[in-house]
Amino acid sequence: MRWKVLLLVLMIMLMLSLAACTPAPEPMHLHQIYQRDSIRVGILNGPTSYYVTADGATGYEYELAVALADKLGVKLDLVPSFHLEELLEKLRTGQVDVIASGSTVSESLRAQYRLAPAYQWSDEVLVFRQTEKKPKSLAELSAPVVVLKGSSQAETMLKKQAELPELALSLNETDDATELLQQVADGKIQYTVADSHLLAINQRFYPNLGVAMVLKSQQPVAWLLAKNNDDSLMSVLVEFFGRSYEGAELLSLEDKYFGHVRRFNYADTLDYIEAIDKVLPRYRALFEQHSGNLDWRLLAAIAYQESRWDPKARSPQGVVGMMMLTVNTANSMKVTSRVDAAQSIRGGSQYLQKLLDRMPERVKMPDRLWFALAGYNIGYNHVESARMLTEKDGADPDKWAEVKQRLSLLRQRKYYSQTRTGYARGDHAVYYVENIRRYFDTLLWVDEKKQAELKIQQQKQKLAEEYGEQLEAAANKPAAKDNKKTTTKTGTDRKS
């Protein structure tokens, strides 16, 4: 019995000794986040992830990061960068907790890091300029394909090159994916590879960008975490993205940034950009004058959708003018001539504001605006019918992303018979709203670009004027010195 007690004592001593030699476990990742009261999110600057406007920060990934910080009840410590490799280094060294790049994840990155649940899927596509001949295969390419070094697209192309050695490839280390798309549009390079959701965003501004072929389908877009055995933050992300799917937050966010850009019309976008340059200047002052609480560029986008900025446009249904007002709407807005551009724009603006004011207060922007635009197209009561059908389905009637899926049901008798308002071309209202959103985005981009160019021109002119004054002053100053020297010399000569 005694030897058993002795053995037990020895075992306890051995366990204590081993415990003393074993380093203390690192605090859990999630615990560290709560300790510092912030989550550090590495994020790429770009149109699909994060960028800063006059109204502040925005972007799909940015809004996800804000929502995650809110869920955790901590501050958001954003770490932006133009280069993924810089963010990966910060993740490896613990300077960021997670990376939200907004791009597809390569197979090599999947092996080196942990992927949070994918919340979006995108194709990797070969992009070319639509004014050039469309290649039918990689073997037909007439120039190198330029891709970002270290990107998922570069990895895809390197594998293609291994199969097709004559395929020319250029790995770019200085630009970002959006800049490469712009270079294709400008004719500086002929081909690049991009995520399809990034291309869709940029086609509004560069309509000559086209898809030559899909290289990889349905690639995951997901956040990256360091590869370790700590599951605390990963568990939070699994729940966060799962609940966001269930609660339709991801659906609403997807619709906000990408829902209106999936349908792209090359010819229409080209015509629109040309009209911005040639037609819009005639009416811009009127849109600015009558915009009220609205952005004048939104009002202009509505007018383009309605009439292509033609004040005498007339539809088969009898609506007339720049803003295509019906007789009843024109009368209620005190418009005496529907073909008078100023009256039509004023009437259309006031009518849209009336629709916005009519929406329940709980409906927030921008959903409130999309509902009002749909009401402008098919009538407020039909939109309310679609919201009622949405609520019956157990979905959120205050979210445009949910309601637009039910608007098309107003064409079907088994659905519109459940409403007081009956049949409506609800699918047309969806196209109508999404077209206006595209036109608005494009006009914002063109107008801001022109303002930036004008500002640069004014700065150059100011510098030229200041430099000219300095040159004139400098030219006059030496002349005065020469006169003085001549006088002195003359005086000296006299003394001699």
3-state SS assignment for residue 74: coil
Q: How far apart are CA 339 and CA 8, in angstroms?
A: 100
Q: How far apart are CA 466 and CA 473, in angstroms?
A: 11
3-state SS assignment for residue 6: helix
| Per-residue pLDDT tens digits for 321-330 | 999 999 999 9
Q: How far apart are CA 343 and CA 326, in angstroms?
A: 13
pLDDT of residue 467: 76
Could you say which DSSP state residue 170 is in?
Answer: E
Q: Is 306 a catalytic residue?
A: yes
pLDDT of residue 462: 81
Lowest mean pLDDT among 152-161, 249-258, 298-307: 249-258
Strand partners for 209: 129
Contacts of 292 (CB under 8 A, 6+ apart): 349, 350, 353
* Cis preceding-peptide flag for 366 (omega within 30 of 0): yes
Q: How far apart are CA 386 and CA 438, in angstroms?
A: 23
What average pLDDT does the structure give for the chain? 86
Reported as type and span, the H/E element at residue 209 is: strand 209-221
Sign of the four-CA dihedral 270, 275, 277, 280? negative
Contacts of 319 (CB under 8 A, 6+ apart): 325, 326
Closest alpha carbon to 116 in 288, 244, 249, 260: 244
Q: Which of 124, 306, 384, 434 is the catalytic position?
A: 306
Neighbours of 27 (CB within 10 A): 12
Tokens of 467: 């430099």
Helices (H), 279-366: 280-289, 296-307, 327-332, 341-358
Distance spanning both ends of the chain, measured CA to CA: 132
**Listed ranges 59-73, 258-272, 446-460; the one with the highest mean pLDDT:** 59-73
Please tell me which residue, 475 or 431, carries the higher pLDDT value: 431
Do strands 114-115 and 169-172 pair parallel, antiparallel, or not at all (unpaired)? unpaired
Percent of the chain with pLDDT over 90: 59
pLDDT of residue 7: 37
Phi, psi at residue 142, to the nearest 5°?
-100, 5
356 has a pLDDT exceeding 90: yes
* Cα atoms found within 13 Å of the Cα of residue 303, Cβ hemisphere only: 35
Lowest mean pLDDT among 52-61, 90-99, 132-141: 52-61
| Per-residue pLDDT tens digits for 300-346 | 999 999 999 999 999 877 789 999 999 999 999 999 999 999 999 99
pLDDT confidence bin for 6, thresholds 50/70/90: very low
pLDDT confidence bin for 54, thresholds 50/70/90: low
Q: Determine whether 285 is exposed, middle or buried from the number of CB atoms within 10 Å of its CB (0-12, 13-18, 19+).
A: exposed
Q: How far apart are CA 63 and CA 71, in angstroms?
A: 12
Torsion, Cα of 54, 55, 58, 62 (10° steps): 120
